[in-house]
Amino acid sequence: MKKIIVLILLSVFAVSLVSCVTAPGSDNSKINIVTTIFPQYDWVRQIAGSSENIEITLLQDNGVDLHSYQPKASDIIKISSCDMFIFVGGESDGWVDDVLKTAKNDKMIKIDLLEILGDDAKEEEIKEGMEHEHEEDGDEDHDDPDHEHEAETDEHVWLSLKNAVRFCNAIKEGMVRIYPQNADKYESNCSSYVKKLEELDEKYAKAASSAKTKTLLFGDRFPFRYMTEDYGLDYFAAFTGCSAESEASFETVRFLAKKIDDLGLRSIIKLEGSDGRIAETIKTSTSSKDQEILTLNSLQSTTSVQIRDGVTYLGEMEKNLEVIKKALG
């Protein structure tokens, strides 16, 4: 459905798209950078610093996350006339290819996060006890552990600080290509910011290595696979990171509650924006019924209001670290 809507918009606004294209990096114009999600937007802000000649657009600025976003005609026009377009590149960005084919902007620099990761991109994992969407084929045996599911790339690449370092360097290189006059500034700002990311990465690693337990349990979707693998942590969750499901079965709740009992876990994690109903149901199904419900921010639905209030990628990842330290004991 998302792809069909994009195709309709492209056909209606094709003339406007072509006429809006300007020469990237031309001297008397601002550099226009379009980002799909907040982490990308904030990385550009940090690298640009106080540069007044850069205009940054965040497409998903109203709380709609990556998986639900549908571009508007105005979004498509912004992309088509920008100097740099930064996107995740997974299945949720399936609409991007059609937009780029229509853009007629050969000078646009495209930053595809999954392409940057290459072979380091991970497949989404369906772990024991996890709910997942079934194919509409009554003959399939979905309880069979040998049943094969179509592999899907895990798109939540920004939740790894190690990945963030790679992405920031790629963005900086693109900005230098567009506006070499500011190369020294971009290099300096990026270097300082990357150092902060690496320092926080070290704090995460130290917290994981000294933790009493190495397992996190999510009564919610699980978008943190890149992060947990960075630090050798295990996890259990109700849903995969990209799941559209919102109701957990009795079997899933029972499985997760038993894991809490067996491992002696003292907390259950939910995501920002979640009502916590599944986490609460898991809690009441445990033996002690006294776990603390904690919230991690997956940075998928940051709004323009939150940005004006001072939210940053680094700040939210620092807050996430404190939550993880508490969850790991």
Could you give the CA distance from residue 91 to residue 154 in angstroms, rounded to a whole number?
Answer: 9
Pair 190, 225 in one domain: no
Residue type present at position 203: K
- Asked if residue 318 belongs to a domain, the reply is no
Pair 46, 84 in one domain: yes
DSSP conformation letters of 138-151: TT--TT-TT-----
Residue 148 — very low, low, confident or very high, per pLDDT cuts 50/70/90?
A: low
Average pLDDT over residues 184-193: 98
Average pLDDT over residues 249-259: 97
Q: Is 173 exposed, middle or buried (0-12, 13-18, 19+ CB in 10 A)?
A: middle
Which SS3 state, helix, strand or coil, does residue 84 take?
A: strand
Average pLDDT over residues 63-73: 84
pTM of the entire structure?
A: 0.88
Q: Residue 151 contacts by C-beta under 8 Å, 6 or more apart in sequence? A: 123, 124
Residue 122 — very low, low, confident or very high, per pLDDT cuts 50/70/90?
A: very high
Pair 188, 219 in one domain: no
- Pairing state between β 234-240 and 31-35: unpaired
Q: Write out the two tokens for 174.
A: 């693109």
**For the chain, how many helices (H) and strands (E)?**
13, 8
pLDDT of residue 1: 53
- Asked if residue 146 belongs to a domain, the reply is no
Pair 99, 234 in one domain: no
Q: Residue 161 contacts by C-beta under 8 Å, 6 or more apart in sequence? A: 197, 198, 200, 201, 204, 227, 230, 317
Average pLDDT over residues 205-228: 97
- Asked if residue 122 belongs to a domain, the reply is no
Q: Using an 8 Å Cβ cutoff, are 20 and 77 in contact?
A: yes
Pair 270, 244 in one domain: yes
pLDDT of residue 207 exceeding 50: yes
The proportion of the chain whose per-residue pLDDT surpasses 70, expressed as a percent, equals 86
Could you give the CA distance from residue 71 to residue 74 in angstroms, rounded to a whole number?
Answer: 8
CA angle 48, 54, 56 (to 5 degrees): 90
CATH number, position 286: 3.40.50.1980
- Asked if residue 319 belongs to a domain, the reply is no
Q: Using an 8 Å Cβ cutoff, are 147 and 216 in contact?
A: no
Domain end point (choices 141, 165, 197): 197
Which SS3 state, helix, strand or coil, does residue 81 take?
A: coil
Point out the least confidently predicted range of 14-28, 96-110, 149-163, 224-238.
14-28
Residue 29 — very low, low, confident or very high, per pLDDT cuts 50/70/90?
A: low
pLDDT of residue 150: 65
- Asked if residue 189 belongs to a domain, the reply is yes
Residue 174 structural domain: 2-117+154-197
- Asked if residue 266 belongs to a domain, the reply is yes
The proportion of the chain whose per-residue pLDDT surpasses 90, expressed as a percent, equals 73
* Position with higher pLDDT, 264 vs 149: 264
pLDDT of residue 10 exceeding 50: no
Rg (CA), the chain: 21
Pair 182, 244 in one domain: no
pLDDT of residue 63: 82
Point out the least confidently predicted range of 10-24, 106-120, 153-167, 250-264.
10-24
Average pLDDT over residues 60-75: 86
Pair 91, 69 in one domain: yes
pLDDT of residue 147 exceeding 90: no
pLDDT of residue 48: 97
Pair 218, 163 in one domain: no
- Asked if residue 7 belongs to a domain, the reply is yes
- Pairing state between β 267-271 and 292-296: parallel
Average pLDDT over residues 138-143: 43
**Model confidence pLDDT, tens digit, residues 268-302:** 999 999 999 999 999 999 999 999 999 999 999 89
Average pLDDT in the chain: 88
Q: What ranges in the chain are assigned the alpha helix state H? A: 2-12, 14-20, 38-48, 73-80, 96-103, 113-117, 161-178, 183-209, 225-230, 250-263, 277-284, 304-308, 313-328
When divided into structural domains, the chain yields a total of 2
Closest CA to 293 of 215, 214, 217: 217
Pair 178, 228 in one domain: no
- Pairing state between β 54-58 and 31-35: parallel
Pair 21, 160 in one domain: yes
Pair 191, 263 in one domain: no
Pair 52, 8 in one domain: yes
- Asked if residue 145 belongs to a domain, the reply is no
Q: Using an 8 Å Cβ cutoff, are 154 and 293 in contact?
A: no
